[in-house]
Amino acid sequence: MPRLLVINPNTSATVSALLQRHVQNEVSPALKVHTVTARFGAPYIASEASYAVAQHAVLDAWAAALARGERPDAVLIGCFGDPGLFALREACSVPVGSLAEAAFAAAARHGRFAVVTGGERWRPMLERLALALGHAPSLAGIHTVAASGAELAAHPAGAHALLAEACREAAARFDAQAVILGGAGLAGMAAAIAPELAVPLIDSVSAGARWAIEAGRAAAGPRAAGPEVAWQGVSWELEALNGRQPHP
C-alpha cells in the first residue's frame, strides 16, 4: 500500500489531527496517510522566527520518521508557507510536496490568483515564497486577516463570515481569477465559502492532497549530496541522517 507522510511543522496536535482527517479523506483509501507533529517549535507559525525554527523541525521530523522505520513513498509538508521545502527535497529520496506550492499551481491554472490567510506577518513571507517557486507573475495579491490560522480554526462559525468577506474582497480588489484559502488550520472551510464567490476557491490542504495522489505516479528526482561538514547539537536522528541516503 502506498504511504504518504504528512509533516505538521508546528507543535499543535489539533492541527495534525485536522490534516490527517482531511488529507486521508481527499485521497484514495489505498493511499495510507500518516501525519506527524513537529517535536519542537511554535504551536502555530506566524513570524519569521517561528518559520525559521519550523524549517529545522521539518528536517528533524523526517529524520525521526526514518529512525522509526517509516519508509513513505512521498512527503507532504502540512503548512501553508512550506517551511523546509527546499531543504527536505535536498535530503529526501522521495517526492516532497507542500500546501502553498500545490495551491499556487492549482490556482494559476485559472489565471492570476489572490491569497487569503490568517496572520498579518505572512504577506512578505508568502510573496517571497511565490517568487522562489516561480509563481510571482501569477500572484495578484495577498489579503491577510489579523487572526492567526489557529485562532480562526478555534472559532469556525465566526471564521466563516470573516473569511468569506475576505475572499470576496480579495477577488474584487486584486481582480483575481481564483482565490486560495491558505492554512492547515482552515482545512475544509473553503467548501462552505466557495458558493459565495464568483471565482474558484482553492483549499490549500485539498490541493496538497491532490499533489500527493499524483506524486505516487512520479519518480523521485536526483538527491543532492549530503552536507559537507558534520552537524553538531541536533537530534541523534538528524545527525544519523547526515550523509545517509534514505530509501523508501
Which three cell numbers, joined as nine digits, stand for 220?
523521485
Q: Would you write out the chain's pLDDT as a tens digit for each of its 248 residues?
A: 799 999 999 999 999 999 999 999 999 888 999 999 999 999 999 999 999 999 999 999 999 999 999 999 999 999 999 999 999 999 888 999 999 999 999 999 999 999 999 999 999 999 999 999 999 999 999 999 988 777 787 777 788 899 999 999 999 999 999 999 999 999 999 999 999 999 999 999 999 999 999 886 554 454 544 556 778 899 999 988 875 544 44
Please indicate, yes or no, whether the overall pTM of this predicted structure exceeds 0.75. yes
In Å, how far are 112, 117, 120, 174 from 136, measured between CA atoms? Answer: 10, 17, 19, 14
**Domain 3-99+210-241 and domain 100-203 have a common topology:** yes
Which three cell numbers, joined as nine digits, stand for 24?
486521508
Give the H or E element holding residue 116.
Answer: strand 113-118
pLDDT number for residue 157: 75
Conformational region of residue 91, where left means phi above 0, alpha means psi within -120 to 50, and beta covers everything else: alpha
Neighbours of 21 (CB within 10 A): 15
Domain spanning 100-203: CATH 3.40.50.12500: yes
Sequence letter at residue 71:
R
Q: Is 122 helix (H, G, I), strand (E, B) or coil?
A: helix
Q: Is 132 helix (H, G, I), strand (E, B) or coil?
A: helix
Which three cell numbers, joined as nine digits, stand for 229?
561538514
Sorted by where each begins, the domain ranges of the chain are 3-99+210-241, 100-203
Q: Is 12 helix (H, G, I), strand (E, B) or coil?
A: coil
CA-to-CA distance for 62 and 34, rounded, in angstroms? 12
For domain 3-99+210-241, the CATH architecture is 3-Layer(aba) Sandwich (3.40)
pLDDT number for residue 246: 41
Question: Rounded to the nearest 10 degrees, what angle do helices 99-108 and 204-215 cross at?
Answer: 90
